[in-house]
Amino acid sequence: MLGDEPLVERVDIVPRWVQAQQEWNDRARRSANAVPTASYGRLNFNSWFDACEFTLATEGEWTDRGRVHECFRSEHALEGDVHTLERESFMDALGQHLAKKFAQQPGSLRRRKEFYNVTCSRVGSTKLQAGFHTNKKLFRKMNPSSRKSQDPNRSRLVSTRSDDSTSSRYMTEFLQLNCAVGLLESKLFPDAKELTESFAAFNAWRTYLRHDFDSEDPGITLVSVGDGCTPRTAALFAFRTRWHCIAVDPEMGLSRDSKSEYNIARLQHFRAKIEELKIVAKRVLVVCVHAHVSLATTLSRIFSDDGTASCIAIPCCNYYAAIDAEGKVVPEYEDMGVISPHRTVRIWKSLPCGSSSPLCQAADA
């Protein structure tokens, strides 16, 4: 739902991407229908499964469903590479057959990874090596020595540096926001870590760029690059400013909680790499929260009226060097409100972008 007049002049998607998206959609549709594909179309899985006469295997023995599939192919003289969709169709049908067959004995059928606890006349079950634990709780109960003492602070979310004292300021800020309900309903943040990162970007704008980028100015476009599977940082800015906010990420929409549409005014999201878009807008603020793409690449895809964009970045992993602008003076600081060891915040004003960006200049030279 876009409440205001469109201020982003264009977001061009290069044809390469449109085609990739189309192929992805087609694949998703085909696998959702799970229709047996050409080579299997004439064959009836179920009559073959019936003939296999699956029974429950002796406790501790399992059958690899891949071997069942191989047996089916060899009996039907199917040769050549196995197409992913063919395999998926077979596995779906096998799972449904077994679930139906053992429906009268609830809990008896078990599956772990590629294995079912069944056997049949054609493919016999086998004992699996120690270490293949089908029931972790049961295994631990029977092998108490396997339980190592664990660090009470274990968490990928909490840094263990002794000089660390993270603050809960962003969680507190979140709880006091009018848009907190909207953010929660949209299922944008998978956990507190991601929330604090987006809030740190917002805080960087509030602290350093508020005078250059007025929150009430609808002529401003925010581009959140590498926003993740949900447009979380872009949505936060869309809720809290009057800007047009765009989220770009090749993994956009791929998590369980992702939505295809968000009823958030002035928010757009794209499943794309930034290099596959060309964003043309009046004034641009780029945000890179733990983005896995270089700043130079990002800037080369953004075209603003004055040929510059400002940027807020919180680099992570091995992107500290790539998300940097050589020779530019930046405020850089550690934000202890970010629940991640990657909490360095960098801010640049007026970096050359679009055709004036270093990458485009180098390409033109």
Chain contacts with ligand SAM (rule: CB under 6 A): 194, 197, 225-228, 248-251, 273-275, 289-293, 316
- Name residues whose C-beta falls within 8 Å of residue 332's C-beta, 6 or more positions apart in sequence: 344, 345, 346, 347
- Name residues whose C-beta falls within 8 Å of residue 81's C-beta, 6 or more positions apart in sequence: none
Residue (235 or 248) nearer to ligand SAM, CB = 248
Residue (69 or 301) nearer to ligand SAM, CB = 301
Check: CB of residue 94 under 8 Å from CB of residue 143: no
Q: What order do you get walking across the sheet with 8-13 strand by strand?
A: 8-13, 277-281, 302-303
Q: How deeply is 186 buried, as exposed, middle or buried, from its count of CB atoms within 10 A (0-12, 13-18, 19+)?
A: buried
Q: What six digits make up the tokens of 324?
A: 């940097």
Per residue in 11-20, is it b (16+ CB within 10 Å) or e — as a string?
Answer: beeeeebeeb
Q: What six digits make up the tokens of 241?
A: 């400013």
Residue (7 or 277) nearer to ligand SAM, CB = 277
